[in-house]
Structure formats: C-alpha cells, structure tokens
C-alpha cells in the first residue's frame, strides 16, 4: 500500500472519529439511511463541506497555528513575560509560577529555556560540562510539535560540547568538533530546554549559571568567539484574535512557511478545496460566504473538540491506559505524526502541553476526576494515599502538580504547587507510605507538611510526571492511587 493510500485511510478513520465525537454523524447506520420526516432548514451543501473539511484541517494544523502565535508573541509583539530574539534563548530564572499564563502545564522542577530557531542557516547548540549530573535536557521539536531530537543527560550521555541543528535539504560539511547532528524537516524548530533545581537560593544560582552555558550560534559564526550576531525580531505576522477566520489565515501562512511532508499530500489537496493549506489559491476573505460560514464553525467546534480530547487523553493509535481515574499520556507522544495521529498530536500534545516528551524521557499521567469519577473541584477535600509500593519509580525524579482548566498553575498564598520526591519537608508514614491532602485551606497539625492547595470553587486537574521512568511506568503496568474525596 502506498504512503498516500495509507494516509488517506488514516484520514478517513480520523475524520469519522472527529465527526462522530462532535455529533456530525447520526448514532446508527440505519438512522443515516432513513429519510427525515420533516428535515430542518437546509444548510447549503458547500457550507457543510467546508465545515467538515475545515474541522480536519484545524486538527491537522493546530500545533503549527499555536507555534506561530507563540513565536509572534515571544519575538515580535513585545508583550508578555517571555521575550526573545530569533535564535536566542529566553530563560526562566526560577520555578514556574502562576504569572506564566501560556497554558501547557508548566512543571515546577525544571525552569525552562525556550528558543525559536530559523534553520535556513544551521545553528550550533552548545551545552556546558555537567559533572554533578544535574538533570537537563534540550528538547527540539518540528513546527508541528513532534520531537526531532534531544541534547541532555539521557539522550547525549551528558556529553558537553557543540551539536548542529540543520534545516530541510542542508548538505553542507559538518565542522570538526561537532558532537552530533539533529536534522529538522521544517525550516523552523522550537527548543524547550529544562534544567533541574531544588528551588533553594543557593541552587538557583548554580542553575542559572548552568543555563548561561546554553548557547546558540549560526554555523557561519561557529569558531568565532568575538563575532557579533545581529538580533532579529521580525517573524511571520499572525491574524488578530478578533478575526473569526484568523486561525485559518494564520494556518495558510505558517504551512507555506513550513511545508507539510509529502506523505500528507492527499490531505492538503482536500484542504485546498475550501481555501485552506499551502495549495490554496486566493484569499480566505474572497471565498463564497457559505464556505466562510462553514470554516468559522469549524474553528469554534475544532477548538472545543480538542479541549475534550485533551481531557480524555485521546489518541487514535497511541496505547494509553486508564486506572483509578488517571490516564497515561499516549505512548506515541512526541512522534504522533508518524502514526497519522493528528488528533492526538493536536489535542493531547499541543493543546494541553505545547509539546510532550518521548516516554523514554518522561512518562506522564493526568486525572481530572476523583475515585467516583466526579470532576476535581476546590469545594471539596481530597486525599491521595501512596503506599510504599505505589510511589513512582523514576531514576531522576517524580512529581504531581495541580493546574486549572486552562492548564496553568493556580495562585495560592502558600506558594505550594506540587509534591514529589524532591519536595523538602514531606512527612512519610512509618511503612513508607505518603498521604497528600488537597484542599483550599491549610490542614491542621502534621498534615500541613503534605498539603497541596486547591482553588476554592473551581475545577482543577493533576499531572504526574516521572523523569527517566522505571519499567512499570514505561509498560503502563504502574497504577497511581485514586484521588479520594473526604469530608470537609
């Protein structure tokens, strides 16, 4: 079977699931064949076709749309906490806090080092020596959120030095001294670096010095320490949020800038029929009004569908296990396009996480519900009881962090946002067990040491991470304990 035929079949399966989930298909085949006794006011056929095709296009392109918007905000707009130039790092110098309102479920253990790479010229990434084996990783993603490579303690064996990142079609000579080469098939790539700190004042100073050892150098300037590189802040403009068709206008521009792979040609041909994608001709504003209406509906419903997929941990092909209300991140996280899993890539990878690690680096579980299947809400009190055997096995560290419905940290006066094996002061039971108390107000006595504040009257979710996970996490045989609701 050809790649295009495989892609077309995956597209059809994903399309069916997408429309079934959104209610666009009837419940049964029999109902679909039976004529309606009194049909509702007919929607123009071209509007409905634009809606159906637009839904799939929105799912396919959502990560690129998100990255284009983040890049514009971080590099050109001058607004927000994260500010950088093209091919430059922005470092968070402390633990993530609620001031960082970009979604993506930021962790509390590894301050971030973020960069957007323009790979029309290859870039050299330099990393410092790490004799203490402090956890760090530079994760590189294509402009559709899949991982293309790592530099770090695990992936490159903690080897300091210089690593070359190349763009599509580059065939130059690799300089001497380069430790490894990471090719990107998209002209732009995204770096999400993470560097561990225990959060103490002394360790934050060491962590910041380590971050300063991360360097990005254009290949033409490699080996020239005194060379000055001009700072750039001009990137692709994105459509305003007030434009009801803005997401698709941004999509068309960013997909032309970062062309999809040839294996997806059949999808792109379909998208172009309603004015979408790199093959589309003309302006979206010049499309038939019925087609524009269908596309506007697709953006609204597509966004809603991705929210539902994110909450369910949905993946078309990535095996994921749910037990005690916790669901594993899909086993194909970080490489979802290879399976044609564009719904999982958009919903569970980009929508709720901006990007996600390969499971070799980090295994993650999330829950939105208690042991009775009810949404977690700050109006209630909860306890998580980890028996000694249920404490996650992770070579580096593990943690559980609380987020709001937009996947941001939630402010609390105590400044407590997570718990795990690196959190100081936790009180363990004599049998090695660990109880965590999740509630809005501080509990009395020794329980206060194990308190995780929740937002009063608001729903929240919990995210368990294990860095360098043990075998039971990799094969999904580990079962996290349920979140038990207790009397207030």
| Res 33: pLDDT | 37
The 8-class DSSP code of residue 128 comes to -
pLDDT in tens, 320-371: 889 999 999 999 999 999 999 999 999 999 998 899 999 999 999 999 999 9
For the packed helices 3-22 and 265-272, what is the interaxial angle rounded to 10 degrees? Answer: 50
| Res 101: pLDDT | 85
| Res 257: pLDDT | 98
- Provide the sign of the torsion angle of the four alpha carbons 342, 343, 349, 355, taken in this order: positive
Average pLDDT of the chain to the nearest whole number? 91
Lowest mean per-residue pLDDT among 122-136, 313-327, 427-441: 313-327
Whether residue 229 lies inside any domain: the answer is no
pLDDT in tens, 206-218: 999 999 999 999 9
| Res 40: pLDDT | 53
First to last CA, the chain: 60
For the packed helices 45-71 and 265-272, what is the interaxial angle rounded to 10 degrees? Answer: 120
pLDDT in tens, 248-293: 999 999 999 999 999 999 999 999 999 999 999 999 999 999 999 9
Q: Calculate mean pLDDT across residues 71-100.
A: 94
* Residue ending a domain, choose from 204, 221, 238: 221
* Residue ending a domain, choose from 159, 193, 221: 221
Whether the per-residue pLDDT at 7 is higher than 80: the answer is no
pLDDT in tens, 138-156: 999 999 999 999 999 999 9
pTM of the complete model beyond 0.85: yes
CA distances from 231 to 23, 88, 217, 227, 468 (A): 49, 8, 12, 13, 36
The 8-class DSSP code of residue 258 comes to S
Whether residue 37 lies inside any domain: the answer is no
Q: Are strands 434-439 and 451-453 parallel, antiparallel or unpaired?
A: parallel
pLDDT in tens, 155-176: 999 999 999 999 999 999 999 9
CATH number at residue 428: 2.60.120.600
Whether residue 261 lies inside any domain: the answer is no
Sheet holding 112-118, edge to edge: 90-91, 112-118, 188-195, 136-141, 147-152
Q: Which two tokens stand for residue 426?
A: 């936790």
pLDDT in tens, 19-30: 333 333 223 333
Whether residue 296 lies inside any domain: the answer is no
Whether residue 206 lies inside any domain: the answer is yes
| Res 3: pLDDT | 38
Whether residue 130 lies inside any domain: the answer is yes
Whether the per-residue pLDDT at 13 is higher than 50: the answer is no
Cα(8)–Cα(31) distance, integer angstroms: 26
Whether the per-residue pLDDT at 87 is higher than 70: the answer is yes
Q: Calculate mean pLDDT across residues 376-403.
A: 97
Whether residue 210 lies inside any domain: the answer is yes
Number of domains in the chain: 2
| Res 15: pLDDT | 36
CATH number at residue 128: 2.60.40.1610
Whether residue 9 lies inside any domain: the answer is no
Among 366, 468, 431, smallest CA distance to 137 is for: 468
Per-residue pLDDT band for 228 (boundaries 50, 70, 90) equals confident
* Residue ending a domain, choose from 186, 221, 256: 221
Determine the structural domain holding residue 446 and report its residue range. Answer: 361-486
| Res 318: pLDDT | 87
Q: Calculate mean pLDDT across residues 102-120.
A: 93
Q: What percent of the chain has pLDDT over 90?
A: 84
Contact at 8 Å (CB) between 168 and 187?
yes
């Amino acid at each position: 079977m050809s790649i295009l035929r495989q892609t077309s079949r995956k597209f059809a399966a994903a399309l069916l699931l997408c429309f079934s989930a959104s209610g666009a298909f009837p419940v049964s085949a029999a109902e679909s064949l039976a004529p309606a006794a009194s049909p509702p006011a007919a929607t123009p056929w071209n509007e409905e076709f634009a809606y159906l095709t637009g839904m799939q296009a929105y799912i396919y392109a959502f990560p690129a749309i998100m990255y284009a918007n983040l890049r514009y905000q971080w590099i050109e707009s001058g607004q927000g906490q994260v500010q950088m130039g093209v091919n430059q790092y922005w470092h968070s110098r402390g633990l993530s806090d609620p001031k960082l309102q970009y979604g993506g479920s930021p962790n509390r253990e590894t301050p971030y080092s973020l960069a957007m790479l323009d790979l029309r010229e290859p870039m050299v990434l330099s990393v410092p020596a790490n004799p203490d084996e402090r956890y760090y990783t530079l994760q590189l993603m294509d402009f559709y959120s899949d991982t293309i490579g790592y530099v770090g303690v695990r992936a490159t064996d903690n080897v300091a030095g210089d690593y070359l990142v190349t763009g599509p079609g580059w065939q130059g000579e690799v300089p001497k001294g380069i430790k490894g080469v990471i090719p990107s098939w998209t002209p732009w790539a995204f770096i999400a670096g993470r560097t561990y700190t225990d959060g103490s004042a002394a360790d934050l100073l060491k962590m910041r010095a380590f971050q300063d050892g991360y360097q990005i150098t254009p290949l033409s300037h490699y080996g020239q320490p005194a060379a000055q590189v001009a700072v750039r802040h001009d990137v692709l403009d994105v459509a305003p949020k007030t434009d009801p068709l803005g997401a698709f206008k941004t999509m068309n521009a960013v997909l032309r800038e970062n062309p999809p792979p040839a294996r997806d040609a059949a999808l792109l041909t379909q998208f172009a029929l309603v004015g979408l994608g790199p093959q589309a001709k003309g302006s979206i504003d010049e499309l038939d009004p019925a087609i524009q209406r269908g596309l506007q509906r697709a953006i609204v419903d597509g966004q809603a569908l991705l929210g539902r997929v994110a909450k369910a941990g949905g993946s078309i092909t990535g095996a994921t296990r749910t037990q005690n209300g916790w669901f594993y991140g899909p086993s194909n996280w970080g490489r979802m396009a290879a399976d044609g899993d564009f719904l999982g890539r958009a919903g569970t990878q980009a929508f709720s996480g901006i990007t996600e690690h390969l499971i070799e680096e980090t295994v993650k579980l999330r829950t939105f519900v208690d042991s009775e299947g009810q949404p977690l809400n700050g109006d209630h009190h909860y306890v998580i009881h980890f028996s000694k055997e249920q404490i996650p096995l992770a070579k580096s560290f593990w943690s559980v962090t609380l987020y709001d419905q937009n996947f941001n940290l939630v402010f609390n006066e105590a400044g407590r946002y997570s718990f795990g094996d690196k959190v100081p002061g936790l009180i363990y039971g004599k049998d090695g067990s660990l109880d965590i108390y999740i509630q809005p107000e501080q509990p009395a006595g020794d329980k206060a040491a194990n308190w995780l504040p929740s937002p009063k009257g608001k729903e929240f979710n919990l995210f368990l991470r294990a860095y360098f996970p043990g075998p039971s996490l990799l094969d999904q045989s580990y079962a996290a304990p349920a979140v038990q609701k207790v009397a207030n």
